[in-house]
Structure 1
Amino acid sequence: MPVRRQPRPSAEVTSQLWPSGGRHLWPSGEASELQAHERGHLVYAATGVLAVHTERGTSIVPANRVAWTPGGFSHSHRAHGDTDMRIVFLTPSMARLVGDRPAVFQASGLAREVLLALTGPGNYDETAPRYGAAARARLVRVLVDELREARERPLQLPEPRDDRLRAVARMLYETPADSAPLPELGKRIGASSRTLSRLFRDEFGMSFYQWRTQLRIYHAFVLLADGHDTTQTAYACGWANPSAFIAAFRKVIGTTPGRYRAGGRGTAQGLVANAPDS
């Protein structure tokens, strides 16, 4: 189905909440306070990029992903680029079908259209809602079924528990272009590369170099959402050249940085259509 370009949000924070969902228009850099909801909820960025923080780490949610946070989980959100954040609260019966832990799913074209329909104009007026209760329930069921069929596609920066990993992570958060090998980073914090390598495997289930690639992709999203071009972003995030960055970005996201930016710095134009099927 065709993907419609969503209008760019304004530069002011605008929030609309209703019993079954909500919409926040946030300027780049805006963040919410740490909070928890009784009901689980889905969040989607119609424009911009969202970072969702939970006790399990930070997940990046561009326009071809949907984030799920179960009820009771403490979380916060941060906008990268002017962001149009959509929210759909789920009833307990629907929430059980999605899962009992935070997750990020691939957003199919149908899931995206249902999310936009459930959170678009006409949903804010409780006296004359766009959809009656029965119609809304059917749409929510379609959305949940789409997510259950979708692959989990997390773009996650897990939160380190070990102090040595935290020290390495802190250095690279601040300077993602730092290409020092693990032994050099180990010397800076007083830990052997063998120990650090084991800790990355034990805590994150991935190698240091896989983790650093995810960190750089995270920073690349931030820069692209703020208007930087592919070449600037590649070097700022530590890739040796733009071609290497493009290949890494496409492997993780399913489209190139250029197509991602052409969609409107984070709109779903070009993202859902180019997302990998598997």
Structure 2
Amino acid sequence: MDANTLINLNVHKQLVAKSINMPAGYLDDYHQHPWHQVIFPVSGLLQSDIGDLSMVVPHNALLFIPAGTSHKSVAVTQTEFVALYLNPTAKAPFCRTLKSCLVTPFFKELVLLLLKTADELDNRAISNLLRVLNDQIKSAANYEIPLLKPTDRRILAIFEQLIEQPATQLTLVKWAQQVGASERTLSRLFAKEFNQSFSAWRQHLRLVLSLELLTTPRSIQDIALSLGFASDAAYIQAFKALFLSTPHKYRNSVLQAKTT
């Protein structure tokens, strides 16, 4: 059942919730909801376009989308996400501003609790939990990871191959030969779409892909080499520059909720 049908069947409720699975590459094109929406990936990576903003949402982040806001999402990898739909007339005074924020262990457990109990708790209990959710959204740190997936078909072909084999070391000259464009054209396209060079974009892509790998028992060195970094030191340095945290700290603090 699609979200808006679910909302229309439950207009008397404060909250409806569902879990959604998307295969890699699945596009949920532009749409909007009459209720506020929370998008939280349990696993995988989503890229969402909202107005002039395009951002990646990994499984340690969350999107709050105000009611009536047009948006689309595409699954960068196989993705499972929780969608909470919040009635604007509910007692919790949710804001009307888009926010991408960092999810703490407590925040994550709250979202999962609302998913599990949306149809079980009475109105008073739901109201109390929604007030806590509202407080968490307001106080959470902003967490925005820029656009990754291109729109041009030639660099989209590069993107799709790197998703499958991120350690691929082809130069831009070699990629140009594969996708039927000149090196100069590809350089111009990367600058236009991402305001980055090809090498900077590729590193950005590898770093974002590493977020999911850090939820596994694999060593930091193994993750670094599997993504094409020359060493674990190079990976750690690049990760810290983008995410303001080391991979080890990310694994042991942001994701500790997986073991609680």
For 1:216 and 1:76, the matched residues in 2 are separated by: 18
Name the CA distance, whole Å, in 2 between partners of 1:79 and 1:129.
Answer: 36
Return the offset for 1:165. 1.6
Q: Deviations over 1:33-73 (max 9, x none)?
A: 8485623312335xx5342244677724232x222345553
Of 44, 49, 58 in structure 2, the residue corresponding to residue 61 of structure 1 is: 58
Pick closer, same or farther for the CA change 1:92–1:200 going to 2, 3 Å: farther
User: What does residue range 72-221 of structure 1 map to in structure 2 within 5 Å?
Assistant: 72-75=70-73, 86-92=82-88, 97-99=96-98, 104-107=100-103, 109=104, 113=106, 116-117=109-110, 119-120=112-113, 123-126=117-120, 128=122, 131=125, 133=127, 135-136=128-129, 138-147=131-140, 150-154=141-145, 156-157=147-148, 159-221=149-211
* 2:7 corresponding residue in structure 1: none
> 2:46 aligned with 1:52, yes or no?
yes
Q: CA deviation at 1:87?
A: 4.0
- Measured after TM superposition, the shift of residue 207 of structure 1 is 2.1
- 1:24 Cα deviation from its structure 2 partner: 4.3
Gap change, CA 1:32 and 1:139, over 3 Å in 2: farther
Q: Secondary structure at the residue paired with 2:84?
A: strand
Structure (1 or 2) with the greater helix fraction: 2
Which residue of structure 1 aligns with residue 237 of structure 2? Answer: 247
* Alpha-carbon separation, structure 2, partners of 1:194 and 1:32: 30
Is 1:40 aligned with 2:36? Answer: yes
**What is the distance in 1 between the residues matched to 2:77 and 2:177?**
35
Partner of 1:7: none
CA distance in 2, matches of 1:185, 1:30: 22
Range with bigger deviation, 223-232 or 51-60:
51-60
Q: Which whole-Å CA distance do the structure 1 matches of 2:59 and 2:19 have between them?
A: 15
Go from structure 1 to structure 2 and tell me whether the alpha carbon gap of 1:79 and 1:227 turns closer, same or farther (over 3 Å shift).
farther
Q: Structure 2: which amino acid aligns with 1:128?
A: D
Residue-pair matches, total: 237
TM-score by length of 1: 0.65
Query: Contact 1:66–1:106 at 8 Å: present in 2 too?
Result: yes
- Residue identity opposite 1:195 in structure 2: T
Using the alignment, how far apart are the partners of 2:247 and 2:14 within structure 1?
37
Note if contact 1:88-1:119 (Cα within 8 Å) is conserved in structure 2: no
CA distance in 2, matches of 1:97, 1:202: 31
1:31, 1:171 → 2: CA distance? Answer: 12
Evaluate the alpha carbon distance shift between residue 126 and residue 33 of structure 1 in structure 2; reply closer, same or farther with a 3 A threshold.
farther
Q: Which moved more, 1:228-237 or 1:249-258?
A: 249-258
Could you say if the C-alpha distance between residues 77 and 166 of structure 1 is closer, same or farther in structure 2, counting changes exceeding 3 Å? closer
In structure 2, relative to structure 1, the CA distance for the partners of 1:69 and 1:79 (3 Å cut) is farther
Q: Decide whether the 8 Å contact of 1:60 with 1:156 is kept in 2.
A: no
TM-score (norm 2): 0.68
Query: Taking every aligned residue pair, what percent have the same amino acid on both sides?
Result: 21
Classify the secondary structure of the residue corresponding to 1:97. Answer: coil
Question: Higher relative CO (CA 8 A, sep ≥ 6), structure 1 or 2?
Answer: 1
